[in-house]
Amino acid sequence: MPEVRDRVLAGQVTLAEAYHRAHESYLADRESIELVPEISGFSAGGMPNRVKCLHALAGHSLAAGPGVNPIGDAALERSTWSPTRCECSEPGAAKWSVLDLGCGTGLSGAAIAQYAKHLVGVDLSAKMLDKARERKLYHRLEQRDLLTMMQGEPESTFDLVFSADVFVYLGALDDLMREAYRVLRPGGHLAFSVESLDALAGGAAISSDSHDYRLNVTGRYAHSMAYLSRMAAHNGFEVREPLVCMQGSPLEITIPGLPVRQAHADDAERCNVLHFRVHGHTRQPEVADAIRQGLATVVERDGRITGYATLIGFPGHAVGETNGDLQALIGAAQIFIGPGFLVPTRNGDLFRWCLAHGLRVTQPLTLMSLGLYNEPNGVFLPSVLF
C-alpha cells in the first residue's frame, strides 16, 4: 500500500498514534476474553513497532469495526474482500434439508419449499399425504407417527425440523424434542407452533394434570412457556431470546435524520457487512431475494447504510446500528407482513417504543438454538426462521 508507506515515511504522527491506539484496543479486547500472563502487553508479530502481517491487521479491522485500526481499514478499502465470499450458493438457492412433522396437505411445506434442497414430510393421515403428494414439493413422504418416524432416521440429517399446528395434538413433548435434536445437524433449527397456556390461563380445560400443558375443550393442547423452555434445555436446545410478535396499523412516520429508501442491488454488499457485524454471519441469499423483489429497505446516513430490512414481518429480518435505525424501518413499513414482526423483548427501548406507537403484542415466542450461537452485537429484528 504505497499511500500508507508514504505516510509512514513522511513521519505522519497521527497514523503512528492511531496504530498504537489500535494495538491497545486489540490487547484490551483480547484480555477481556482471557488474560495470559506470558503474553500480557504485547501481541504476536510485533505489532505495533514492527510490521505485522497485513491479513492480521485486516482481520483486526473486521473484528473491531472501522475506525480502530487505520492500516487494517486501508487494507480492507483496497481489497475486494466480502463476507459473502465463502458462500458458494446462488442467491436464493435452496440449501436446507428439511423435515416437516405432521405435514398434512403441505400448506406450510409449500411456504418452506423454496429454501429446501431436500424436503421430507411425515403424517399419520393417508388422505392428507395424497394431497401433499399432488403438490410435487416433497422428495419423500412417510405415513407414520412423527416420533416413530424420527426414531428411524439417522442422526444429524436435517438443517430444519419444523411443525406447524401439530404439537397442539400432542401433550408431552420430551421424547419429540430429544429426537428432533438427534436428527438435526449442529447449528440446525427446530421451529414449531403451539397454543400458549400462559395466554389462555383461565380458559375452559378438559384436563389439567400439571402446569406444563393441558387439554382444552377445543380438543387441542396448550403448553406453558416454562415447560417448553425446560424441555428444550433438557434436550440440548438453548433458550436464547424471548420475542414478541407485534402487529398494528402502519405507523407512516419518519425519524428525523434517518431517511429510509428502497434497497438497490448495489446496497446488498453493505447490508451483508452490517448483518455480519451484528450476527457474525450474513444472510446474503435472503437479502438478494428481497432486493430483487423490491421488498428490502435501507436507512442511509451520510452515505452509510446504518440499517436494513428484508421486510418488516414474520418472514423478514432487520438489523441496525441503533434503535433509531430500526424505528425508521418500522415507521416506513407500509404493512407488517403475516402475523406481525418479531421484537426481542430484551430490547426494552424498542419494545416500549412499539407499544407507545399503538402496536400490540399478538403472541409471545422464544428463540432457541442448538450448537454455535453468536450473541448479537447490535440491534435486530429476527425472522421467524431467525
Nearer CB in complex with ligand SAM: 138/353: 138
CB of 219 to ligand SAM, least distance (A): 12
- Indicate the residue among 28 and 126 with the shorter CB distance to ligand SAM: 126
CB of 384 to ligand SAM, least distance (A): 13
- Nearest in space to 74 (alpha carbons), one of 91, 54, 53, 89: 54
> Which residue is it, cell 421486510?
311
Between 125 and 157, CB nearer to ligand SAM: 125
The CA-based dihedral angle spanning residues 102, 106, 111, 116, taken in that order and rounded to the nearest 10 degrees: 80
If one asks whether residue 169 binds ligand SAM (CB under 6 A), the answer comes out as yes
DSSP H or E run through 101: strand 96-101
- The residue among 72, 104, 56 whose CA lies nearest residue 1 is 72
Is residue 128 a contact residue for ligand SAM (CB under 6 A)?
Answer: yes
Position among 146, 184, 246, 258 found at the interface with ligand SAM (CB under 6 A)? 146
Question: Cβ 180 to ligand SAM, closest distance in Å?
Answer: 13
**Nearest residue by C-beta to ligand SAM?**
104
With respect to ligand SAM, which residue has the nearer C-beta, 170 or 309? 170
- 108 vs 310, beta carbon nearer ligand SAM: 108
Q: Does 121 bind ligand SAM (CB under 6 A)?
A: no
Residue number with CB closer to ligand SAM (167 or 386):
167
Q: Where are the alpha helices (DSSP H) in 126-242?
A: 126-134, 146-151, 174-183, 197-200, 225-234
Pattern 65-104, ligand SAM, x by CB under 6 A: -------------------------------------xxx
Buried b (16+ CB within 10 A) or exposed e, 134-168: eeebbeebbeeebbebbeebeeebbbbbbbbebbb
Sign of CA dihedral 234, 238, 240, 246: negative
Classify strands 184-192 and 379-381 as parallel, antiparallel or unpaired: unpaired
Is 108 a binder of ligand SAM (CB under 6 A)?
yes
Count other Cβ atoms within 10 Å, centred on residue 174.
13
Answer yes or no whether residue 166 interacts with ligand SAM by CB under 6 A: yes
CB of 212 to ligand SAM, least distance (A): 18
User: What residue ranges bind ligand SAM (CB under 6 A)?
Assistant: 102-105, 107-108, 122-125, 128, 145-146, 164-166, 169
